[in-house]
Structure 1
Amino acid sequence: MFKKIMAPVDLAHQGHLEKALKCTSDLAKHYGAEVVFVGVTASTPSATAHNPAEYAVKLDDFAKAQAAEHGFTASAVPVVSHDPTTDVDDALLKATKDTGADLVVMASHLPNVLDYIWPSNGGKIAEHAKCSVFVVRG
């Protein structure tokens, strides 16, 4: 049913991704799907990486570790943005097309009052992506 799963990850917040990563792993193994981990980074230094090349290496290492630990095929696609805070939704939507994903599995926070003003990343991706989207809360 699913052949390519895109899993957006924020390497600075890996601890908040456990539930979504478990769902990604389970679905990948169930369907024999490839997983593409997509991370959006800035071209400027951050707490995660000094530059986009270093970020790409860290994202690739993350993908390889997930694949080895959970037994699925994985790759990494780093996306460089001028301002990841404001561009992340558009960057991820473009990545769904560029990667050929037929499913996106992504973490999201529990809804709160601010979601009526600024929609969550998961909500925007689910609303606009041309593929299925599984938003994992918590």
Structure 2
Amino acid sequence: MYTHIMFPVDLHLPPEVRKAADVAAEVAKWQGAKITIVSVTGNQPGDPVQTDGAINDDLRAFADQLATNSGTEVAYLNIHSVDVAAEVDGDLARAAEGIGADLIVAGTHAPRITDYIFSSHAGYLANHAKVSVFVIR
């Protein structure tokens, strides 16, 4: 049913990402699907500046771990953004189309008061992506 799963990640790896990674691995194993990890990065105030090489090393290590857990092919893609906070949602929705994903598995947090005003990233994807979105809380 699904052949290509996009898995958006925050490289800080909050608990929601770790839980969603387990689900993505299980679905990929069950469906025989490829996984592509997608990260949107940029220089944010307060974050240490990371080089593209360091970001790719982190993504490669995470992809290797996910490949071991899922037993399927895992690729990765880093999208550089000038303003991650403003662009991440659109970048992820476009990335799903660009890589040909037919399912997005995204982790999210429990609803907060601000989520009633602004949607979470997973909420945005669920409302705007052109493919199925599996949101893990």
**Same fold flag (TM > 0.5):** yes
What's the CA shift for 1:112?
A: 2.4
What's the CA shift for 1:69?
A: 3.2
What's the CA shift for 1:43?
A: 5.4
Query: Deviations along 1:42-96, whole A, 9 cap, x unmatched?
Result: 157944x622232122212211121023312100011100011221101101111
1:43–1:52 Cα contact (<8 Å) kept: no
Aligned runs of 1:1-138 on 2, under 5 Å?
1-42=1-42, 46-47=47-48, 50-137=50-137
Instruction: Give the structure-2-normalised TM-score.
Output: 0.91
Unaligned runs of 5+ in 1: none
Identity of aligned residues (%): 36
- The one-letter code matched in structure 2 to 1:13 is L
- The one-letter code matched in structure 2 to 1:79 is I
1:96–1:104 Cα contact (<8 Å) kept: yes
Structure-2 separation of matches of 1:131 and 1:15: 24
Superposition RMSD in Å: 1.7
Secondary structure at the residue paired with 1:115? helix
Structure-2 separation of matches of 1:70 and 1:10: 20
Instruction: Give the structure-1-normalised TM-score.
Output: 0.90
